[in-house]
Chain A
Amino acid sequence: MSDVTATRHPGLNLNHTDRETHDRAESVMFGFWVFMMSDLVLFAVLFATYAAQSVHGIAGGPAPAEIFELKSTLWQTLVLLTSSFTMGLAALALKYRDDRRRLVLWLLVTAALGGTFLYLEGADWLRMARDHGAVPQVSGFLSIFYALTGTHFLHVSAAMVWIGVMLVQIGRFGLKPEVKLRVMRLAILWHLLDVVWIGIFTFVFLFGVVQ
């Protein structure tokens, strides 16, 4: 449905390097942005619940400042931010280079960083549970803490599966328009999860320690 004039969409555009894919991008990319918007509503609701229950839902259990350890969280943040950078490099490889190896390489690095993030976060949860008995069944605050960080964790895990599928598809189909568009949407999701994490780092961990 393309007109003569190239319409642009938010995010990475392929109009200068791959016109065919770009012409098919507009509605799918727009649709994915809308999907992300709905996902953000979900996170917003979780944040709002956290704002309430982290204050009045402690119920004699451990308070945020007692269980959070900024060192681990800072590492998680740095790893995830770096993975966003490498995902950006993957997107640039997709746009400007026809060489699949570079794209695959950056996707692998991103996945490795994503895996590291998941590992660090999981280890952090285990530490809280072990050292402080901080499991979600203890209080309203811990319920929403695990639900919020857990929802983010599940999103990153799903995005990791998506990276795996894309690696197979790049190998099998090469850089067909469909594959390119999927990688572009994957990148949007990945960056968005980074943005959400910054929210979590700030409002959950930094605020929590300050209190």
Chain B
Amino acid sequence: MTPFGLLDWSDLVFAGFLRDPSVNEAVASAAGAFAVLGAVAALVVLTVKGWWRPLWSGWLTSLDHKRIGIMYVVLGLVMFARAIAEASVMRAQQMAALGEPGFLSAEHFGQLFTTHGTIMIFFVAMPLLTGIINFVMPLQIGARDVTFPLVNAVSLALTAAGAALLMVSLVVGRFSTGGWSGYPPFTGAAFSPGEGVDYWIWAVTLSSLGSTLTGMNFAVTIYKERCPGMHLFRMPLFTWTALCTSILMIFAMAPLTVATLMLALDRYAGFHFFTAGSGGDMMNYANLFWLFGHPEVYILILPAFGVWSEVFSTFSGKTLYGYTSLVIATMCIAVLSFTVWLHHFFTMGQAASINAVFGVATMLIGVPTGVKVYDWLLTMVRGRIRFRVPLILGCYFLATFVIGGLTGVLLANPTVDYGTHNSLFLVAHFHNMLIPGLLFGMFAAIHFWFPKAFGFRLHEGLGVLSAFLWMGGFLCAFMPLYALGLMGGMRRMAQLPEGPFGPLLAVALLGALMIAAGFAVFVLQLWWSVRHRDRLAVPHGDPWDGRTLEWALPAPPPEWNFAVLPEVDRRDPFDAAKLAGIAYALPDRYEDIEMPANSAVAPALGAAAFAVAFGLVWHIWWLVAFGLAAALAAIVARSFVTETTRTIPAAHVRQVTEGWRSIARVATPCPRRAEATGANRGRARPQQ
């Protein structure tokens, strides 16, 4: 064996094309080339612009929760681009494969749906929601940072290492074909030898370790770092959903870690957890995976519910309707999420009575979710509604999410599920929940809080255009799948039968392309807005007439967030302060502020984790040992560092705060009808 384990030149994706110059291999090579070119282009830009130093000292080693949050979102968006491209290629293949083989091999198609699912869950949805909670939650509770800033950076580094592993798999070797849920025995060593499943195992394991740490960090932050007066029932609803999601992460990620590590032991060391024969128990994998997997669904959707709550309230100019019921509903969903995992495998041989129990539990989740929908609707009733991009997406979410929820109640019936299991009907259902619910929620959040993070709004017109492309694209891409599923179309098929499937598949392909176009417009919108940021600037920090504490800060907020920790005595404190005319008051006195100092430990751990994972995939044992030793050394060395904070002098805090407040106080307040124009500089005229 060479020093590089199983790795060989022939594992390069380009070698595959040289061996067999088919369209199938050309697509794989093009994807690999795209990844390589993207990486090279990023390196060139960083070097030419001289951005290495600011990237290192301002971002990669930063422990500022806001910057870590932004890095999470960037990671999610980059991976989203890949996942959309994969979805479009899959639909194109199915379109081309009506009655003929199409241009992709079944094995290549298997890799595509596996990476698409894995990326969308672990490297798009999770980074987006983690990033947004990271940025927003400490601001909403009046804190200066999360409780464990270094752990926060380590979580990001582990997640990024997992994402890097997925990107490397485009160029070196093949990925798993076992789907995002990776069921054995198919993913065991007997049926899936080679590196593919190992890539999947380690990418997912790194991500789940990162999420476990994130969950603990957020939960402790929300319990322990709230500013004076911020009782639990005064927290903004987004923070409530962040709390529930964090609790779910703490409890639900461990089963996934155990399941993937057991699968790894089966594959690497010949254990018999999930093998066929020798006392292996494949059903145990299904149970463990979905014991994680179902709470995961709510880890994903709850923060989006939080975003929607903020959006409906802010853009209706009204306090949230039914706050307490929304909190209780959120908690109910969090608890119930642990009682329904079995509905993912109704057809796998339990007694009918067990299926019935889990079916009923599943339907129950519709109740608190329905409460939420009514609360959001009633928030808008008699509000002064402004159709900014987040609210446009929000209204669409209300309509489509209900459809998805109803199909979910259908699927919750085990007898119905026997007919629809693993069909395109199911694919339509969960995309119907996750795209309008989660993904649009995340994009609404990006539009909503972008001005807070960077000090300028995103271009409104382009935002509306991308929103409509997404909304239309979603309908075209997934509504036909309901019909196709009922017609007998199964999921994960490289080739569907000829006949009546063609027209509906064509619509679905069109929808996928529209979603891709919507993302392109979104990127264009980012680019255009950065170029014209002076025109869109909102330095006073309150572009949407916000209600919660984060809007009381400059945009972007200073590193320390609050010059003096605020005291609150009610919900929506900033809205109340504006109405009372006491917003933007200057603090009486300033104090030195201690903030976490930069640390290279997180990037070091991320690099070590990547080395370990890559070494494990290719059996490069010295690299594994080296990575583990480096990680241990980094952790121990860090515990000997005595200067982990740096002090920001009161005089500097005073200068920055008063510099901003003196301008913000005299700024002309912008009426809501001019919200989307250049007149909006971030000082809102209060609406009585």
Interface residues of A (CB under 8 A from B): 1, 26-28, 30-31, 34-35, 37-39, 41-42, 45-46, 49, 52-53, 56-59, 61, 136-144, 147, 161, 165, 169, 172-173, 178, 182
Least distance between A48 CB and chain B CB atoms (Å) = 8
**Do B281 and A57 touch across chains, with their CB atoms under 8 A apart?**
yes
**Do A136 and B271 touch across chains, with their CB atoms under 8 A apart?**
yes
Least distance between A6 CB and chain B CB atoms (Å) = 15
A42's partner among B257, B277, B278 (CB-CB below 8 A) is B257
Q: Which residues of A contact B255 (CB under 8 A)?
A: 41, 45
Least distance between B427 CB and chain A CB atoms (Å) = 29
B219: CB under 8 A from chain A? yes
- Alpha-carbon distance between A1 and B143 when the two chains are bound, in angstroms: 11
Q: Which residues of B contact A53 (CB under 8 A)?
A: 273, 279, 281, 284
10 cross-chain pairs, A with B, having the tightest CB-CB distances, nearest first: A140-B279, A57-B279, A59-B279, A41-B254, A143-B271, A27-B224, A139-B279, A137-B270, A42-B254, A31-B220
**Do B272 and A30 touch across chains, with their CB atoms under 8 A apart?**
no
Contacts A38-B250, A173-B642, A182-B639 given; indicate if A141 touches B216 (C-beta within 8 A): no
B225: CB under 8 A from chain A? yes
A59's partner among B217, B272, B288, B640 (CB-CB below 8 A) is B272
Q: Which residues of B contact A139 (CB under 8 A)?
A: 272, 278-279
- Alpha-carbon distance between A161 and B224 when the two chains are bound, in angstroms: 30
Scoring B216, B254, B279 by chain A CB atoms within 10 A of each residue's CB, the highest score goes to B279
Scoring A53, A143, A169 by chain B CB atoms within 10 A of each residue's CB, the highest score goes to A143
A52's partner among B224, B254, B281 (CB-CB below 8 A) is B281
User: CB within 8 Å of A: which of B107-163?
Assistant: 147-148
A27's partner among B225, B251, B279, B288 (CB-CB below 8 A) is B225
Q: Which residues of B contact A137 (CB under 8 A)?
A: 269-272
- Alpha-carbon distance between A144 and B266 when the two chains are bound, in angstroms: 11
B216's partner among A31, A49, A58 (CB-CB below 8 A) is A31
Number of interface residues of B (CB under 8 A): 40
Q: Which residues of A contact B224 (CB under 8 A)?
A: 1, 26-27, 30
**Do B265 and A37 touch across chains, with their CB atoms under 8 A apart?**
no
**Do B225 and A49 touch across chains, with their CB atoms under 8 A apart?**
no
A141's partner among B279, B284, B636 (CB-CB below 8 A) is B279
B288's partner among A45, A57, A182 (CB-CB below 8 A) is A45
Q: Which residues of A contact B262 (CB under 8 A)?
A: 49, 143, 147
User: CB within 8 Å of A: which of B235-258?
Assistant: 250-251, 253-255, 257-258
Q: Which residues of B contact A147 (CB under 8 A)?
A: 262, 265, 271, 273
Contacts A45-B258, A136-B271, A143-B272 given; indicate if A169 touches B281 (C-beta within 8 A): no
**Do B265 and A143 touch across chains, with their CB atoms under 8 A apart?**
yes
The B interface, classified by DSSP as helix, strand, loop or mixed, is: helix
**Do B272 and A31 touch across chains, with their CB atoms under 8 A apart?**
no
A-B contact pairs, 13 of them (CB 8 A): A1-B225, A27-B225, A34-B250, A37-B250, A37-B251, A49-B284, A139-B279, A141-B279, A143-B265, A143-B271, A144-B273, A165-B639, A172-B640
- Alpha-carbon distance between A141 and B271 when the two chains are bound, in angstroms: 10
- Alpha-carbon distance between A172 and B215 when the two chains are bound, in angstroms: 34
Q: Which residues of A contact B251 (CB under 8 A)?
A: 37-38, 41
**Do B291 and A45 touch across chains, with their CB atoms under 8 A apart?**
yes
A-B contact count (CB 8 A): 113
The digit string for B621-650, where 1 denotes a CB below 8 A from any CB of A, is 000000000001000100110100000000
Q: A27-B225, A139-B272 are in contact. List 13 more A-B contacts (CB 8 A).
A: A1-B225, A30-B224, A31-B220, A34-B219, A38-B215, A45-B254, A45-B255, A49-B273, A53-B273, A61-B279, A137-B272, A140-B280, A161-B632
Least distance between A125 CB and chain B CB atoms (Å) = 15
Q: Which residues of B contact A27 (CB under 8 A)?
A: 147, 220, 224-225
The digit string for B503-529, where 1 denotes a CB below 8 A from any CB of A, is 000000000000000000000000000
B374: CB under 8 A from chain A? no
- Alpha-carbon distance between A59 and B258 when the two chains are bound, in angstroms: 22
Q: Which residues of B contact A165 (CB under 8 A)?
A: 636, 639
- Alpha-carbon distance between A137 and B291 when the two chains are bound, in angstroms: 26
User: CB within 8 Å of A: which of B302-350?
Assistant: none
B212: CB under 8 A from chain A? yes
Scoring B219, B255, B639, B642 by chain A CB atoms within 10 A of each residue's CB, the highest score goes to B639
Least distance between B291 CB and chain A CB atoms (Å) = 7
Q: Which residues of A contact B254 (CB under 8 A)?
A: 38-39, 41-42, 45
User: CB within 8 Å of A: which of B642-667?
Assistant: 642
Q: Which residues of B contact A143 (CB under 8 A)?
A: 262, 265-266, 271-273, 279
**Do B273 and A31 touch across chains, with their CB atoms under 8 A apart?**
no
**Do B147 and A31 touch across chains, with their CB atoms under 8 A apart?**
yes
- Alpha-carbon distance between A26 and B147 when the two chains are bound, in angstroms: 11
Q: Which residues of B contact A61 (CB under 8 A)?
A: 278-279
Contacts A45-B255, A52-B284 given; indicate if A138 touches B147 (C-beta within 8 A): no
- Alpha-carbon distance between A161 and B278 when the two chains are bound, in angstroms: 36
Q: Which residues of B contact A1 (CB under 8 A)?
A: 224-225
Q: Which residues of B contact A182 (CB under 8 A)?
A: 639
In the complex, residue of chain B having the shortest beta-carbon distance to the beta carbon of A54:
B279
B233: CB under 8 A from chain A? no
Q: Which residues of B contact A30 (CB under 8 A)?
A: 220, 223-224
Q: Which residues of B contact A42 (CB under 8 A)?
A: 254, 257-258
**Do B220 and A34 touch across chains, with their CB atoms under 8 A apart?**
yes
- Alpha-carbon distance between A46 and B253 when the two chains are bound, in angstroms: 14
- Alpha-carbon distance between A186 and B224 when the two chains are bound, in angstroms: 21
In the complex, residue of chain B having the shortest beta-carbon distance to the beta carbon of A46:
B258
Q: Which residues of A contact B636 (CB under 8 A)?
A: 165
**Do B272 and A140 touch across chains, with their CB atoms under 8 A apart?**
yes
Contacts A38-B250, A46-B258, A169-B640 given; indicate if A59 touches B273 (C-beta within 8 A): no
Contacts A38-B254, A45-B254 given; indicate if A59 touches B281 (C-beta within 8 A): no
Contacts A30-B220, A140-B273, A144-B273 given; indicate if A58 touches B279 (C-beta within 8 A): yes
Least distance between B227 CB and chain A CB atoms (Å) = 10
- Alpha-carbon distance between A73 and B640 when the two chains are bound, in angstroms: 37
Scoring B225, B265, B271 by chain A CB atoms within 10 A of each residue's CB, the highest score goes to B271
Q: Which residues of A contact B223 (CB under 8 A)?
A: 30
- Alpha-carbon distance between A172 and B641 when the two chains are bound, in angstroms: 12
- Alpha-carbon distance between A141 and B266 when the two chains are bound, in angstroms: 13
- Alpha-carbon distance between A41 and B251 when the two chains are bound, in angstroms: 6
**Do A34 and B216 touch across chains, with their CB atoms under 8 A apart?**
yes
User: CB within 8 Å of A: which of B200-229?
Assistant: 212, 215-217, 219-220, 223-225
User: CB within 8 Å of A: which of B263-304?
Assistant: 265-266, 269-273, 275, 277-281, 284, 288, 291
Least distance between A54 CB and chain B CB atoms (Å) = 10
Q: Which residues of A contact B642 (CB under 8 A)?
A: 173, 178
Least distance between B212 CB and chain A CB atoms (Å) = 6
In the complex, residue of chain A having the shortest beta-carbon distance to the beta carbon of B147:
A27
In the complex, residue of chain A having the shortest beta-carbon distance to the beta carbon of B246:
A34
- Alpha-carbon distance between A59 and B212 when the two chains are bound, in angstroms: 35
In the complex, residue of chain A having the shortest beta-carbon distance to the beta carbon of B292:
A45
In the complex, residue of chain B having the shortest beta-carbon distance to the beta carbon of A53:
B281
